[in-house]
Amino acid sequence: MLEDDKREEGPKDFPQLRNDTFLRAARGEETEHVPVWCMRQAGRYLTEFREFRAGKDFFETCQSPEACCELTLQPLRRFGFDAAIIFSDILVIPQALGMDVQMVAGKGPTFPEPLKEPEDLQRLTAKVDVGKELGYVFKAITLTRHKIEGKVPLIGFSGAPWTLMSYMIEGGGSNTHSKAKRWLYRHPEASHMLLTMLTDVIVEYLLGQVAAGAQALQVFESHAGILGPVHFNEYSLPYLRDIARRVKDELKEAGQDVPMIVFAKDAHYAVEDLSQSHYDVVGLDWTIDPQSARERTGGKVSLQGNMDPCALYAPKERISDIVKKMLEGFGTRGYIANLGHGVYPDMDPENVGAFVEAVHQHSKQMIKKI
């Protein structure tokens, strides 16, 4: 028995999925309730997360499949989320390209040697062996798919090329992203070269996650908002499209259909384009009105979002009212409830629970009336 326990389980014979509302909503199919999950649902707002992470290096935690599995499962033990997202970080890709990234307490991710000029692209690994460099993420996904016992689907993810490029040049978080935007104005060719390199790795990385057991994929373009429409159309959208098209084509050939979500934060000007970019779901931040997002995307895609994360500071009854209005705006079909960005670390977990319950309760009633 002990031998059996120790044996590594591969990406096959996964337990049967018992709650597929999230996958059905992503495909625009009917559901009994609106599915809900939260970006950053595994995070510091949970005491068990803080206890588990205490004293451990962030990226060492990311490299441990057992730790990632535990952190992914923690929020599911508390709340009735309809999906889980693998615990990892978008910055594992710059690491795979050979860059040093550290998580500095109180400061966030830090690159000691960011890219400064186009010559610095030569420092990046030209042909990344994704299986070797990021195999630990694939292992975490496979392990978690087994341990989740079919309770809910598991989402894999990646940062989008522009967002990763901006971190690699800024060397960390930034308000203006002026160093990265300087490249767009001054070194357009080198910028496209870097974005292409990232796109190639991201495509392989996402396909590897599906092979390992991911049942949906989300691409985070968290820094879309700093680009205006012109730069978004040149430096973000073509790469987002390319990623979805290449991943979908490859999966189709293997007879697989894995829903893909694009979340381009603050890119409200691009909602129409994003709804025609080969993704099944467009994730929205809270700066866009649900009904107008529906109208502008014309029922071509499912939508995900978009309650202001700060609305979770409101009393529970107020959260329930806000959720009801949000559901009325989006409608219950082809809709996945979420926040417009991640859960903040100082959030009361009880209010996250109230959000999840409100989505389920109100949507069940609304669907019954249809």
Ligand X SMILES: Cc1c2[nH]c(c1CCC(=O)O)Cc1[nH]c(c(CCC(=O)O)c1C)Cc1[nH]c(c(CCC(=O)O)c1C)Cc1[nH]c(c(CCC(=O)O)c1C)C2
- Residue 171 backbone dihedrals phi, psi, to 5 degrees: 85, 5
89 noted as active-site residue: yes
Q: Using CB under 6 A, which of the segments 85-93, 114-122, 201-209, 269-277 binds ligand X?
A: 85-93
Least distance to ligand X, CB of residue 3, Å: 33
Nearest residue (CB) to ligand X, 37 versus 335: 37
CB 135 within 8 Å of CB 127: no
Distance CA 228, CA 225 (A): 7
333 noted as active-site residue: no
Q: Using CB under 6 A, which of the segments 87-95, 141-149, 188-196, 272-280 binds ligand X?
A: 87-95
Distance CA 343, CA 346 (A): 9
* Candidates 78, 89, 136, 245; catalytic one: 89
167 noted as active-site residue: yes
Distance CA 191, CA 198 (A): 11
Distance CA 41, CA 94 (A): 24
87 is a contact residue toward ligand X (CB under 6 A): yes
Beta strands per DSSP E along the chain: 84-85, 102-104, 108-110, 154-159, 216-221, 260-264, 281-283, 302-307, 335-339
Least distance to ligand X, CB of residue 73, Å: 11
CB 251 within 8 Å of CB 257: yes
104 is a contact residue toward ligand X (CB under 6 A): no
Q: Using CB under 6 A, which of the segments 102-110, 116-124, 274-282, 320-328 binds ligand X?
A: 102-110
Please give the residues from 108 up to 127 whose contact with ligand X meets the rule CB under 6 A: 108-109
CB 249 within 8 Å of CB 278: no
Distance CA 75, CA 155 (A): 14
27 noted as active-site residue: no
CA within 13 Å, CB half, 116? 2
* Candidates 24, 45, 167, 235; catalytic one: 167
The CA dihedral of 274, 222, 251, 282, to the nearest 10 degrees, is -40
Please give the residues from 214 up to 253 whose contact with ligand X meets the rule CB under 6 A: 220, 222
Q: Using CB under 6 A, which of the segments 86-94, 185-193, 202-210, 354-362 binds ligand X?
A: 86-94
Please give the residues from 292 up to 351 whose contact with ligand X meets the rule CB under 6 A: 342
Least distance to ligand X, CB of residue 57, Å: 9
Q: Which pair of tokens denotes residue 236? A: 């973000």
Please give the residues from 147 up to 206 whose contact with ligand X meets the rule CB under 6 A: 157, 173
264 is a contact residue toward ligand X (CB under 6 A): no
Nearest residue (CB) to ligand X, 154 versus 332: 154
Please give the residues from 25 up to 44 whose contact with ligand X meets the rule CB under 6 A: 39-44
Nearest residue (CB) to ligand X, 71 versus 247: 71
Distance CA 261, CA 258 (A): 10
Q: Which residues bind ligand X (CB under 6 A)?
A: 39-44, 53, 58, 85, 87, 89-91, 103, 108-109, 157, 173, 220, 222, 342
